[in-house]
Chain A
C-alpha cells in the first residue's frame, strides 16, 4: 500500500513564432529543435510504456501557442524541410567519419535517431498534438492548459479583463485541439495573485500549481505545508511545487544534468565543422548555428570546451538509469518521512520545463522513462499519479488562500520587472486599456469584425511573458524587442483606423496571415466583467 504520491509535471511551452513573410528566421528553430529533441522523444517514451503494458501517469501542460504552432501547416512543412536537411547532414557525416571508429559509431547513432524522429512525425501525419491527445484520452496524460500567450498575470492584475481574456481564449483553444474542456491550468511561470481563483473557477478550471511558498505562505497556514493541495475559497485547488526534487534536476552544478558522461550541449557540429562543409546547414548568411549533431560528452564540470572527450550513448544511458534510481530512492525517503509527520498521504509535485529533457539535458527523456519504469516495478512506497487522478481520489482538502508568488528567481516578479524589461509595461497596459475600449464596439461589417479580432490577437501576442524573460536573460534579445514593438504597433494601427471608422483591408490580410494564432478568437472576451 503506497504511502504517498509523486506527480511529475512537464511544462511544454514555446512562444508563438511564425514568419511566413521571411525566407529564414532563426527563431523558428526553437520549435524544430524542441520537436526533435524533446516532444518526439517523449512521444516515443509513451509508446514504449504503452507497448510494455505500463499504465503510466504523467501531467503535462501544453500551452496554446505551442499547440497552435504544432498544428500549423506552414510550420509543419518548415519542420519537414529542416528535418530533411539535418538528415542529409547526418548522412554526410557517415561518410566523413568512415575511418574513425568511435565517431562513426556516433554518426550512425545520430542518423538512426533522426530516422526515428521522421518515422514518428509521419505516423501522426505531421501533427504530433494527436499523439498527446491520444495519451490523454487513454487516461495516462493529464494535459493542462496555460495562459493564451503565456502572459504574466500578476503584472496585469489591475486589468481583470486582460487576465480573463488570457484564460478564456486559452480554454477555448484547448477545447478545439483536445476535444474536451481542460480541467487544470499551468499558470504562466506559476505566477499567482489573490483574486485569480475567482476567474479560474468561472472559466471552468479546477486546479493549478504554484511555487512552494504560494502554498506555504497561504492564509490561514496550511497544516500540511506544500505536500497537500489546498482548496481556494472558490473550490479551485492549488498544488505547491516541491523544492527538494526540483534542485536535483535544475542545478547545473550539483544536479544530474551536469554529469560528465552526459552529452555536451555547447559542442555542436555547426561550430566544429569545416566552413565550406557546413555552410549549407547553417544560417544562409553564413553565421554558424546549432545543428543538433553533437559528438562530445561533458567530461568534466569545470573543463574547457577544447577538453571534451567523445560521447558514448551506452554509458550515458546507464548513468540516466542510475540517476533515476537515485531520484526514486530520494522520493521514497521523502514520502516515508512526510507520511509519518502528516498522518496522511503526501503528494510530491515535481514540475519542470519539458524542454529541459532532451534539449538541454539530452538524456532527460531516458531518465524519465527509467523513473517511471522503476517506480512501477521496483518499489511500492509511492505511486506516480497525475493531478486530475489525485484530486478525483482525494476530494477532501484544507481551505486556504494561496499567497501571491511565482516560480521565478527569488520567488516573485522581479525577473519580469527589472531594468532590462520594465519598459514594456506602459505599452502593454495602454494597449490593454485600448483593447477593452475597442471590445465594447459592435462591428458594422465583416471587415470590422476581422479587425477587432486581429486587434485582440496582437494584444495577446504582445503580452507573452517570454519577451520580458528573454530580455532579462540576454539571449536573442533583439528578437524579443522586435516582437513587442511589432505587436504594439500593429495594434495601434488598428486602434487608430477603427477610431476613424476605417479598415485597411490589404494590410489587415497580411497581418492576419502572419499573426494567425487563435483563428476562432472572439474579441468580446475583453468586455468589462
Chain B
C-alpha cells in the first residue's frame, strides 16, 4: 500500500502527479493530462481504500463497519502538535523500576511486557543467573506465595525482548508470571512478578446447577451478595448434605437444545465472536443424581444459601478510627513409614523415603479438594499396602488483612 501524498493532488506539478500515478500502478499515465491524472489517482486511491475496508475476513466484518464512523477523509492530514504538548518531550523508554505485567488476550494466549533495569539484571547475573526465563504459574484457587502453584511452565526468553506472547496451557484459570534468571544449578532468581490474571474459558461449562432467584428491579445491590457456588471439582458425594453447592442438576433437554441452537448459528458463520466455540461445543455431562432445584422468593430473606460475604454499608458519623489485622492459613502434613526398601507413591507420584523408611510431607492447603491415596509396594513387587485420605478445605468467611495492609476503620 503506497504512502499517501502529503500535498493535495490538485496542488501538485505534473511531474509529482506522474510519480504518484506510478505508485498506484495506473496504466499509461505518461499520456495523461494533469486533470486526467488527478482523476485516475483519486479513483485508484478510493478503490484501494474501499478494498482495504471490505476485508475478506468475516470475523472482522463488524469492526470494519464500526471503523467507518472514523472515516471522514482519505488522506492523512499533517498532524500538528498542540502547543501545550510542545515542551513535554517524548514518551519514556522505561521507568527504572522492575515490573512485569501479564494481560489476557484470549483463552489460548496471554501477553506479558516487562521493564527491568540493567542494574537489577546485572545484580542477579552476578549472583549466578544465567538464562533469562519466564515462568507461568497456574494459581487458580491458590493464595500464591511463590511455591504453591498448581502448575508451572517455563519459557526461556532472550535478553533483548521487552514483551512476549505466552501460550496458555489450560484456559479458564488464573495465572501469575515471573521473570527471572535460572542459575546453573537450576535455582530461580526472580526479577519481577505479575499480578494474578484470569484467562477466559473457551468451552461451555460442564457443571450444571440451576438455581433461580427473584430480585426486585428496584432493590439496591450495593454491598450485597446473593449466593456462592462451589464447583463440582470441589465437592464429593460424601459432602453433599453439608454447606454449599451440594445440589446439582442433570443436563436437561433444554440446556442441550439451546447449546445446539447457538452452535448451529456459529457453524454457519453467524458468529462474529468466539473463534473456538464452534468446534468444541462440549455436550455437558453434569453431575448425575440430584433433583433439579430452583428457588424463588426474595433472595435476601434467609432461604439458607445466603452468600458468605454479606455486608451492609452503615452510614454513621465517623467519630473515631482504629485498625486491626489478622492472617491465617492452613497446611497439610502427611506422614508415615514403611519398609525402607519399598516403593511408595502418593497420589500416583513416586516419593523418596528417608533411610529409616519414614516419610513426611507438608503442603500448603488451599481451598478445594485434595485426595491422597498412598500406596506402598514391597521391593519384591509381591505385597502392597495402601491408605487413601481425602481432605476438603472451604473458606466460607474471609475478613483478613496483613499488618502492612491495615487501614483506619471508623466506628
> What residue of chain B has the Cβ atom nearest to residue A264's Cβ?
B50
- Among B7, B49, B205, B206, the one with the most A-chain Cβ atoms within 10 Å of its Cβ is B205
| Residue A486, interface by CB 8 Å | yes
* B8–A475 touching, CB < 8 Å: no
> What residue of chain B has the Cβ atom nearest to residue A248's Cβ?
B270
* B77–A26 touching, CB < 8 Å: yes
- A407: chain B residues at CB < 8 Å are 62, 272-273
A373 to B348, CA, bound (A): 67
- A194: chain B residues at CB < 8 Å are 198
CB contacts under 8 Å to B, within A176-225, are 193-195, 201-202, 204, 206, 211-213, 216-225
| Residue B2, interface by CB 8 Å | no
A399 to B293, CA, bound (A): 12
- B307: chain A residues at CB < 8 Å are 233
* B217–A206 touching, CB < 8 Å: yes
- A221: chain B residues at CB < 8 Å are 204-208, 251, 255, 259, 284
* A353–B70 touching, CB < 8 Å: no
* B252–A223 touching, CB < 8 Å: yes
Nearest CB on A from B75, distance (A): 4
Residue interface mask A383-414, B partner, CB < 8 A = 1: 00000100110011111010111011111111
Residue interface mask B272-308, A partner, CB < 8 A = 1: 1111110000001000000000001001000000010
* A217–B59 touching, CB < 8 Å: no
* B277–A244 touching, CB < 8 Å: no
* A396–B212 touching, CB < 8 Å: yes
| Residue A490, interface by CB 8 Å | yes
A219 to B282, CA, bound (A): 14
| Residue B153, interface by CB 8 Å | no
A489 to B88, CA, bound (A): 6
A159 to B60, CA, bound (A): 29
Stretch of A43-51, A422-430, A441-449 lying at the B interface: A422-430
| Residue A295, interface by CB 8 Å | no
A399 to B195, CA, bound (A): 28
A-B contact count (CB 8 A): 350
Residue interface mask A148-182, B partner, CB < 8 A = 1: 00000011011000000000000000000000000
* B85–A489 touching, CB < 8 Å: yes
A234 to B201, CA, bound (A): 21
Residue interface mask A441-474, B partner, CB < 8 A = 1: 0000000000000000000000000000110111
* B273–A304 touching, CB < 8 Å: no
| Residue A266, interface by CB 8 Å | yes
A486 to B10, CA, bound (A): 33
A244 to B267, CA, bound (A): 11
- B379: chain A residues at CB < 8 Å are none
| Residue A287, interface by CB 8 Å | yes
CB contacts under 8 Å to B, within A102-160, are 154-155, 157-158
Residues A247 and B8 in contact in the complex (CB < 8 Å), given A409-B59, A412-B200, A507-B84: no
| Residue A290, interface by CB 8 Å | yes
Stretch of A27-35, A71-79, A83-91 lying at the B interface: A27-35
Nearest CB on B from A428, distance (A): 10
A250 to B299, CA, bound (A): 39
- B85: chain A residues at CB < 8 Å are 485-486, 489-490
- A225: chain B residues at CB < 8 Å are 258-259, 261-262
Nearest CB on A from B295, distance (A): 9
CB contacts under 8 Å to A, within B46-100, are 46-47, 49-50, 52-54, 57-85, 88-92, 95
Residues A355 and B198 in contact in the complex (CB < 8 Å), given A243-B271, A285-B78, A286-B8: no
CB contacts under 8 Å to A, within B78-129, are 78-85, 88-92, 95, 101-107, 109, 111, 113, 115
Stretch of B184-192, B222-230, B351-359, B368-376 lying at the A interface: B222-230
* B106–A22 touching, CB < 8 Å: no
* B61–A250 touching, CB < 8 Å: yes
Residue interface mask A1-40, B partner, CB < 8 A = 1: 0000000000000100001011000110110011000000
* B77–A427 touching, CB < 8 Å: no
| Residue B215, interface by CB 8 Å | yes
Residues A397 and B275 in contact in the complex (CB < 8 Å), given A158-B101, A353-B69: no
* B229–A403 touching, CB < 8 Å: no
A482 to B86, CA, bound (A): 12
* B226–A243 touching, CB < 8 Å: no
Residues A287 and B73 in contact in the complex (CB < 8 Å), given A21-B83, A252-B61: yes
Contact of A427 among B91, B104, B220 (CB under 8 A): B91
> What residue of chain A has the Cβ atom nearest to residue B274's Cβ?
A411
| Residue A501, interface by CB 8 Å | no
* A305–B80 touching, CB < 8 Å: no
| Residue A381, interface by CB 8 Å | no
A283 to B26, CA, bound (A): 26
- B84: chain A residues at CB < 8 Å are 21, 490, 507, 510-511, 514
* A223–B255 touching, CB < 8 Å: yes
* A286–B274 touching, CB < 8 Å: no
* B273–A243 touching, CB < 8 Å: yes
CB contacts under 8 Å to B, within A494-510, are 507, 510
* B103–A398 touching, CB < 8 Å: no
* A223–B210 touching, CB < 8 Å: yes
> What residue of chain A has the Cβ atom nearest to residue B218's Cβ?
A392
| Residue B211, interface by CB 8 Å | yes
A403 to B277, CA, bound (A): 13
Residues A253 and B197 in contact in the complex (CB < 8 Å), given A221-B255, A289-B72, A511-B84: no
Residues A360 and B101 in contact in the complex (CB < 8 Å), given A225-B261, A233-B225, A235-B219: no
| Residue A288, interface by CB 8 Å | yes
* B228–A233 touching, CB < 8 Å: yes
| Residue A246, interface by CB 8 Å | yes
Contact of B212 among A206, A227, A397 (CB under 8 A): A397
Nearest CB on A from B38, distance (A): 8
* A305–B50 touching, CB < 8 Å: yes
> What residue of chain B has the Cβ atom nearest to residue A393's Cβ?
B217
- A485: chain B residues at CB < 8 Å are 85, 91
> What residue of chain B has the Cβ atom nearest to residue A492's Cβ?
B88
- A286: chain B residues at CB < 8 Å are 7-8, 10-11
* A398–B212 touching, CB < 8 Å: yes
Residues A429 and B101 in contact in the complex (CB < 8 Å), given A288-B75, A409-B272, A422-B111: yes
| Residue B29, interface by CB 8 Å | no
Nearest CB on A from B194, distance (A): 8
A21 to B227, CA, bound (A): 53
A510 to B13, CA, bound (A): 41
- A507: chain B residues at CB < 8 Å are 84
- A353: chain B residues at CB < 8 Å are 65-66, 69
* B272–A266 touching, CB < 8 Å: no
| Residue B400, interface by CB 8 Å | no
- B200: chain A residues at CB < 8 Å are 193, 217, 403-405, 412
- B38: chain A residues at CB < 8 Å are 275
| Residue A476, interface by CB 8 Å | yes
A395 to B300, CA, bound (A): 14
- B201: chain A residues at CB < 8 Å are 217, 219, 403-404
Chosen A-B contacts, 14 in total, with CB atoms closer than 8 Å, are A223-B254, A223-B255, A223-B258, A226-B262, A243-B262, A243-B271, A243-B272, A288-B8, A289-B75, A353-B69, A399-B211, A404-B199, A422-B113, A469-B66
Q: What 6 pairs between A and B have smallest CB-CB spacing? A: A225-B258, A289-B73, A286-B8, A404-B200, A412-B106, A411-B274
Binding site for B on A (CB under 8 A): 14, 19, 21-22, 26-27, 29-30, 33-34, 154-155, 157-158, 193-195, 201-202, 204, 206, 211-213, 216-227, 231, 233-236, 241, 243-244, 246-247, 250-253, 257, 265-266, 271, 275, 283, 285-290, 304-306, 337-338, 341-343, 353, 355-356, 359-360, 388, 391-392, 395-399, 401, 403-405, 407-415, 417, 422, 425-427, 429-430, 469-470, 472-479, 482, 485-486, 488-490, 492-493, 507, 510-511, 514
Known interface pairs A14-B69, A250-B65, A405-B200; 20 further A-B residue pairs with C-beta atoms within 8 A, sorted by A's residue number? A22-B82, A202-B221, A219-B231, A221-B204, A223-B252, A233-B307, A266-B49, A271-B42, A271-B46, A305-B50, A337-B261, A341-B254, A359-B69, A388-B217, A395-B214, A396-B213, A413-B105, A469-B66, A475-B53, A489-B90
